[in-house]
Chains A and B, each alone.
Chain A
Amino acid sequence: MKPYSSVLKLRLLNGMQYRSAALAGVATQFFWGFMYIMIFEAFYDQVLHNPPISLKELIVYLWLQQSFLAFIMLWFRDNELFDLITTGNIAYELCRPCGIYGYWYAKLLAQRLSSALLRCFPILIVAFFLPQPYRMTLPPSFTTFLLFLVTLMFGLFLLVAISMFIYISVFITLSPVGSLLVFGVIGEFFAGLVIPIPLMPSWLQEIAYMLPLRLTADFPFRVYSGHIPQDEALMGILLQLVWLAILVLLGRIALNKALQKVVVQGG
């Protein structure tokens, strides 16, 4: 594990260098956070006696979404990996005595971690002191909070495993634009980032529940607010682990296939 943890560490330190990017990110996330909350507030004002998710829970959902953007967005990418593939620098990666899957997984994980670490705290802290109805609230109990942390971490592992397929596809297409767009749009929608999943029509919810995507974002955020009860959360964690195993296995197979046919671009 040492090589992978070292890559993780170096990538983490590398990512923490980019302070201005983080600051700009924080500002953007506040803008989006307020905008979403205002939209849903207006929406909740008008209708619904018995909403499938309360406004308070929804606001928590939205602030968590903004704080942990780097954990949940598929378009959040590592251009360095794309460059490795398209310029042929992958040659060097391939002459290292470690599996490429694990090596890249560590890099991607570290990139998301470093980015989220820089951004989540300022957003969360400010969100806790905002005036009502924008204020972020604490989870109902400490156990819920722990469950949230676990589901969030597994969600992140799951997302990195999904995002790996974007990088693998670039071996074939040689351009990340298409894959990013397809993965980004579909992924965002079914993770509940456009419309929270409880607010979707039931037939759409059914599709969303069949896919692993909602386990990366919608699930941990609703665990935090208590919208998903604790026993259901434990089941969800199990589901996360099953999906993680399946996706990592498929990813490894696909990557090995791609590497068999790899062409080192650019001589």
Chain B
Amino acid sequence: MTSAATTHDDHHDHGPETGWMRWVTTTNHKDIGTMYLVFALAMLFVGGCMILAVRAELFEPGLQFVDPGFFNSMTTMHALVMVFGAVMPAYAGLANWMIPMMIGAPDMALPRMNNMSFWVLVFAVLLLASTLFMEGGAPAAGWTLYPPLVLQSGDNLPFAVFSVHLLGISSILASINIIVTVLNMRAPGMTLMKMPLFCWTWLITAFLLIAVLPVFAAAVTMLLTDAHFGTSFFDAAGGGDPVLYQHLFWFFGHPEVYIIILPAFGVISTIVPTFSRKRLFGYSSMVYATGSIAFLSLIVWAHHQFTVGMPLAGELYFMYATMLIAVPTGVKVFNWTATMWRGSLSFETPMLFSVGFIILFTLGGFTGLMLATAPADFQYHDSYFVVAHFHYTLVVGGTFPVFAAVYYWLPKWTGHLYDEKLGQLHFWLTAIAFNITFMPQHFLGLAGMPRRIPDYAIQFADFNMISSIGAFILGFSQLIFAYVVYQAIKGGEKASAEVWENASKMGLEWTVPSPAPYHTFTRAPEIE
């Protein structure tokens, strides 16, 4: 209880401001973390509604509800909103809340910049959302924004491009903040190799973000000048090459999936030991595996482009390099399994989501290996098999750990225990509905159904109907989550400082009272 005991003699210490201006001007890492998380939840529902429009249209063959242009807008915007509006901000929120508390720091290193990176994000997403109300509609060329198709977009293109710029600035500022915090603000005695794994994974993710987001920003800038200033970066008529865009995009796009998944690995590595009542198995191998995955992610991008006409040597290189990623990822999966082995397991909601993650994410990893096989990829490419694969890795890999993390730390944030029954109901509905939605899409893809189409051949009807039913259950199940969170904020059984059995041995955040005081660790804690 070091911090609670020391707060009264700190003259600079004060609670939050009152009124709504608190949220606009705050530089407190907990406030900013909360805003990130609430924003991410709101975007989860926005992106979810978009895809429900898509799944409603795909419920039956033929065109029923939306016209194909709007359908394409919805698939495009769903992806952009979910990736940049929901999942990435959710992890930024977790980082803001937890990293300072995990390393015993009083706040993030650069609190004002922290405020800026959040509010830039909000404006970036608003800018993107404004295209929905424009003549010609929102971007509809797919989230990859491939030219030459995307160059035929109307007025929405500059908005999408500037939105990407702002999103990039927001994420880069947040990344710089995280790196500086982790490197400069750790409590005395906390060496890098004693740091909780969540901090490690975020540190490496932050470096990845700084390395690849500017390349994406450069690529979309070229799109903008190609469309409006007469350049020919991607226009073959002027000596450019549209395939170049694909290289630039995937140089960003592939590390991007690891940007999402690495902090998720950190969350799982935090939660599994707590509910196994054991230390994490193979801590240092986890750190090295994270580093290897990050490095490999930078040199495998063209496995997204096996069908553009690469020479055999290129196909082989990208195929083997991609498959190599299975090795450090396997290290992680085996380490989690070994952590649970002979542990004293209990299955509260955070653990359920973590175990669900390990199983389903591994399935997504296996389909990834299938896609990495260059000769087989020609069949899977741009089919629903790909859609199924990346939802197994990104929905399970991206959002399951966020749910796990929120349930895990919610008592610490709010001071109240959440409703365990509802939490478990949320897990089971989510996990079952997820599989109803996406498992059939594997078979649809193998049978030849292409992605990004509003209508399809009659033989795909049954599996699409099943998938759509699953999608609606999955979507509405998330209302339970919103309700559980709301309930825990409003009140409920008081949580102890430790919350989970023996958690105080699992991390510094469990040594402060619940709810965590507005300022924690203004005096550095002792690290043994």
A and B assemble together: no
Interface residues of B (CB under 8 A from A): none
